[in-house]
Structure formats: C-alpha cells, structure tokens
Amino acid sequence: THIALSLISFQDLYEVSGVEAGQHFYWQVGSLQVHGQVLITSWVVIAILLGSATLAARNPQTIPSGSQNFVEYVPEFIRDLTRTQIGEEEYRPWVPFIGTMFLFIFVSNWSGALLPWKILELPNGESAAPTNDINTTVALALLTSVAYFYAGLQKKGLSYFGKYIRPTPVLLPINILEDFTKPLSLSFRLFGNILADELVVAVPVSPVPLVVPIPMMFLGLFTSAIQALIFATLAAAYIGESIEGHHQ
C-alpha cells in the first residue's frame, strides 16, 4: 500500500511538472525541447549588442564627441559598478562578466517595450523579451552562482567552504540554504518584474490604444533599466562577498 501511494505521489508530481503557462514554439534539439521564440529573440538582442559594439569601434576620435561620449560612458559606468561591489584590487577580471550581464538584460528588457515582437508570427506562442521567460532568468542566475563559487574557490581554495560553519557550525543549514535562495531570488525578481511590466502595458492597450500606453511604456522602460542595474549589482556583490577576506 505504501509503495502504491508513493508511486501515485510521484506520478502526480510528474504531471504537475508538465503544466505550462501559455503556448510555446518548440525546437527539438536531440532529445531536448527548447523554446524557439526565446532563442530567436535572444539572438536579436545579441545582434543588437554586437552591431552597436562594431559601430562604436569604427573611427574612434582622440577627443570624443557625440555618440562616442555615450559609448565610452557605458564601460566606465560598468567598471565603477563592479569596482564598488568587488573592490579595487579584484574587480578588473569581473568587468566583462558583469558588463555582459547588465547589457544583455538591459537590452532584453528594453526590447520588450520598444521592439514590435508581435509582428513576428510563430506557429505557436508569441515573441517577447528574452527575460520574459523564466528559463532565461534562471540561466542568468545560475551563471551568477557559478561565477561567485568560482571566484571564491579561485582565491581561497577548499578553505572557501569554511564560510558555511562561520561564525558557528550551528548555522551550517542556513548558510547552505542561502546559496539556494540567491539564484532563486535573482531569477524570480527579474522574471516577475518584466512579466508584470508587460502585462501592465498590455492591459490598457486594448481599450485605449493611443493615450494610456505611452506613459506606461515610459514607466516600463524605467523599471526595466532598474531591474538590469539591480541584477548586475547583486551579481557583483555576491562575487565580492565570495572573495572578501581571502588575504586573511
């Protein structure tokens, strides 16, 4: 009887795991199914970033002016953010990682508000910002987790794991749980806010398509930029936390 009940419970959990919100455009990659619309929109965002970087690197002037001032300000802003969270001595190797996270999330979020994804017709589902999919935000959060584990192990070796029993071994379960809650918090915060922003804009569009959406879109652009900044700041803070005190 207990075995039968256990099998029923596992079957119920398996069925619940198959529940999805809305429809998706699937691509079959070997034995895996991936969300095709997320890959398409992600490639568009990557193309925008690569195209912008290519144009920015063309014909640089010794004395910057116009768009070159803005282009030079972006890496400077990312360096300052990374330096503030990680520290003067250790921040330089992490500028590309934090910058990539910030720019990808920033452009992804803004693309959801500015690009007409709806005109891209798909067999199933509809196109939206890459960060509107929980798989994207979870992947970004897991990359951040891998990064701060790598940073800690690189600087401290196996002694890095000593943090789990400080200041007392009694806190071991709580310290372990913290490493699980960090990526959960990062992924769900970003996903929830971007999804909420798109819904807030989409709901007034139907009854009043010309007047209401404009200020709501500006609000969405602002909150989207803030979410990119929060994600990058927390990622840098976690990396800085993992390597702090390694000289001791």
The pLDDT assigned to 102 comes to 95
Alpha carbon distance 201, 223 (integer Å) = 12
Q: Average the pLDDT over 126-155 and give the result.
A: 88
Close Cβ partners of 217 (under 8 Å, ≥ 6 residues apart): 113, 201
Query: Is 223 in contact with 129 (CB distance < 8 Å)?
Result: no
Statement: residue 150 has pLDDT above 90? yes
CA nearest neighbour of 186 among 131, 241, 223, 225: 131
**Average pLDDT for 113-124:** 62
pLDDT range class, residue 128, cuts 50, 70, 90: confident
pLDDT at position 202 is 60
Whether the model pTM is above 0.85: no
CA 9/CA 1 separation, integer angstroms: 12
Nearest Cα neighbor of 197 from 217, 225, 226 is 217
For the stretch 66-79, pLDDT in tens is 677 777 888 899 99
HSE-CB at 169 with a 13 A cutoff on CA atoms is 0
Percent of the chain with pLDDT over 90: 25
In angstroms, rounded to a whole number, what is the distance separating the alpha carbons of residues 61 and 184?
44
Q: What is the residue extent of each domain of the chain?
A: 64-120+129-245
What DSSP string describes 164-228? Answer: GGSS-GGGHHHHHHHHHHHHHHHHHHHHHHHHHHHHHHHHHHTTSTTTTHHHHHHHHHHHHHHHH
> Does 167 sit behind a cis peptide bond, omega within 30 degrees of 0 on the bond before it?
yes
Question: What is the mean pLDDT of the segment spanning 172-183?
Answer: 87
Model pLDDT, residue 8: 44
